[in-house]
Amino acid sequence: MAYTISMTNDVKKSGLNTQAKCEPVIAFVIPCYNEEAALHVTADVLKKKVHRLENSHAVAENSFVIFVDDGSSDKTWDVIETLHRNEPVLFRGVKLAHNRGHQNALFAGLMHALSMNVDAVVSMDADLQDDPNAVDDMVQEYLRGAEIVYGVRDNRETDTAFKRGTAHAFYSLMKWLGTETVPDHADYRLMSRAALQALSQYKESNLFLRGLVPSLGFKTAKVYYKRGTRVAGESKYPLKKMVSFAIEGVTSFSTKPLTMITGLGLFSVFVGIVMLIYTLISVFSGHAVAGWGSMMCSLWILGGFILLALGIIGEYIAKIYLEVKARPRYIVETTL
């Protein structure tokens, strides 16, 4: 399958010198939550992919896969243990003591890989919707000098019209709020050791890696691929989680909503002055009863603005509350 590759100017200037990064040790980091049905298929596909990369001398022979069990309630960890027992060099495992969410599980896997002295890490979901064949081009871009390579969907044909619309609206909103994100990119990416070390310095509890990684800087490249369907199991991102994830992204990277509250407040004051003038005119002209509807409308509008403002401020206060407690993002129960 052919892939379209896009590079930044910095990468283009770096040329094609691959000697410094010849046959890097690559770790695949796969966060898993109740993926018992998909893991055997995923492991088989990744095993073949790693062996092909090793045979072509694109990566070192001791490259491996890390499965991160995010407190699954099914037999996901049992499957990971079996895979490790059968092939202890290729398959590794990290078990979190409690479900901490996709972003924390992914971060745990990235930091575990960093501690194992890998040269680069490829992160992807366990459902294989992200085409593993795109990894070949990711590695090539890394060898050319890119420290971060983003896997970007070339289309959204498999999505519903609602999901396509909300996704585009989200990326447009993030851009308007001043948050640097890569449109149509989820968490399918390659990161070099240098990029991982930089990411490890971010200590906030509210993780939004799609915004954090672009903020690191470094030389970047993009590899476009066609997103497939799940190999097994059900989606772990229903509408409720997607909305929560979007709010997390906005409040973790932009204070513009707080600035907007000031604008709404000034607008409310202006509307209030207009309504006051209208009321006085109604009273002096003997049509006071006619202003009842306008008064009720203004009360509802003002009340809605106040509640909206309190809700937005509450989101940021909640973020401060979580950060100040400085609790660990996750607790590792055991590793393989």
Give bridge partners of residue 67 from the DSSP assignment.
30, 93
Q: List phi, psi (to 5°) of 260.
A: -65, -30
For the segment 268-277, the average pLDDT, to the nearest whole number, is 70
**What is the C-alpha to C-alpha distance for residues 270 and 288, in angstroms, rounded to an integer?**
21
Q: What is the pLDDT of residue 293?
A: 53
At 195, list the tokens: 């990029």
Give bridge partners of residue 190 from the DSSP assignment.
122, 149
pLDDT digits (tens, 9 = 90+) for 73-115: 989 999 999 999 999 999 999 999 988 888 889 999 999 999 9
At 307, list the tokens: 């509640």
**pLDDT tier for residue 177 given thresholds of 50, 70 and 90:** low
The gap between the terminal CA atoms of the chain, to the nearest Å, is 34
Burial class (CB in 10 A: 0-12, 13-18, 19+), 151: buried
Name which of 202-206, 231-235, 275-279 the model is least confident about. 231-235
Query: What's the chain's average pLDDT?
Result: 78
Burial class (CB in 10 A: 0-12, 13-18, 19+), 174: buried
Secondary structure (3-state) at 43: helix
For the segment 178-182, the average pLDDT, to the nearest whole number, is 72
> pTM, whole model, 2 decimals?
0.70
More confident residue, 242 or 134: 134
pLDDT digits (tens, 9 = 90+) for 32-47: 999 888 899 999 999 9
Name which of 192, 106, 187, 199 is nearest 152 in CA terms.
Answer: 187
pLDDT digits (tens, 9 = 90+) for 42-64: 999 999 999 999 999 999 988 99
For the segment 323-328, the average pLDDT, to the nearest whole number, is 72
Q: What is the pLDDT of residue 45?
A: 93
